[in-house]
Amino acid sequence: MTRHHFAFDCAGARLIGTLDEAPGSTGLLIVSGGNEVRAGAWNGQALLAAEIAMQGYPVMRFDRRGVGDSEGVNAEFRSSGPDIAAALTAFHERCPWLSRVVGFGNCDAASALMLARGAECDALVLGNPWTIENDNEAAPAEVVRDHYRRRLADPAAIRRLLTGKVSLVKLARSLFAAARPAPPQSVRPTGLAGEISDGLQGFDGSVRFLIAGRDRTGLAFLSRWNRNDPRLRTCPQASHSFVEDEAQDWLVSQVLEVLEG
C-alpha cells in the first residue's frame, strides 16, 4: 500500500489531502468532523484508511479550510460543502479509474455531508450525525436514561448516592427528564435535524447511519430521527469515535459492506 500527501485548491485556498492508493474502482472519501485534522481522533481515520486500502479500495482524507495543514478560514461544518466538493474532484483526478465514491463522516462531518446533499458522492456512511443546536439545551431522554443505566452499574456511583454526595434535586430533575416520552415518529425533525433531513431528501444514493450506543451525539440523533429507519445500524458498546477494538472491527465491516455495494 502506498500513502502520499498532496495539495489541491478550494476557493483559492491550498488544502492538503492524503491518499492511500489501491486499485479498486470504488473509493472512500473520509470527511473529518469538528476541528479534527485528517488523521482523526486517536489517529482513527488514518488507521481506517489503511485498513480499507488493504482491502483494495483507495481512500482519501483531507483537512478542510482553516484546519490542520490547510489554508483559509475555518467556517465550521455548515460551510464545508465546497471543501468536500473540491476534495472529491481531487480524488477523481488522483484516481481517474474511480467510477464510484462513498463519502464517510462522523459527527458534524456526517451532518455536513447531509447538508451538502451528499456532495456528489455516490453513497454515504454517516456516523453519529450532529443534531445538537447548543451545549445548553436539555439532553434528550434517551441520553439521560443511558447515563443512569451506566451509573446504576457503577458501585462507586451507588456509594456516592447512599452517602449523600449526590444532589437529590439534580437527581430528581434528571429522572424527570428521563421519563419524558419520545416524540411521535410522524413528527418531522426540527432545527438542525430538520435541515439535515431536508438535505438528505435531495440525495439519490444509498445511505447507512452508524450509531455508537455509548455516545451522547449518536443517542441525541436517534431521539430526533425515525427509529424505524431501515438504514440505521447500532454498535451498542461503541463510544463516539469507535475506538474500542470491537467497535473498530464493526466500523470497518460496515464501511466495506457499503463499498462493496
pLDDT single digits (tens) 89-136: 999 999 999 999 999 999 999 999 999 999 999 999 999 999 998 766
- Pair 100, 123: CB distance under 8 Å: yes
- Position 243 scores a pLDDT of 95
State residue 188's pLDDT score.
76
Residue (of 23, 17, 12) closest to 38 by Cα position: 17
Q: What gap in Å lies between CA 238 and CA 248, rounded to an integer?
A: 9
CB atoms within 10 A of CB 2: 9
DSSP 8-state assignment for residue 63: P
Give strand pairing partners of 59.
Answer: 20, 28
CA 257 to chain centroid: 17
pLDDT tens digits, residue range 187-239? 678 899 999 999 999 999 999 999 999 999 999 999 999 999 999 999 999 99
The structure's pTM equals 0.84
Residue environment code for 84-117, b if the CB has 16+ CB neighbours within 10 A, otherwise e = bebbbebbbebbeebeebbbbbbbbbbbbbbbbb
The three-class DSSP label of residue 209 is strand
Domains of the chain: 3-131+189-260 (3.40.50.1820), 141-178 (no CATH)
Q: What is the pLDDT of residues 137-194, one digit of tens each?
A: 555 556 555 555 555 555 665 566 567 655 655 545 545 444 555 555 556 788 999 9
Number of helices and strands in the chain (H, E): 9, 8
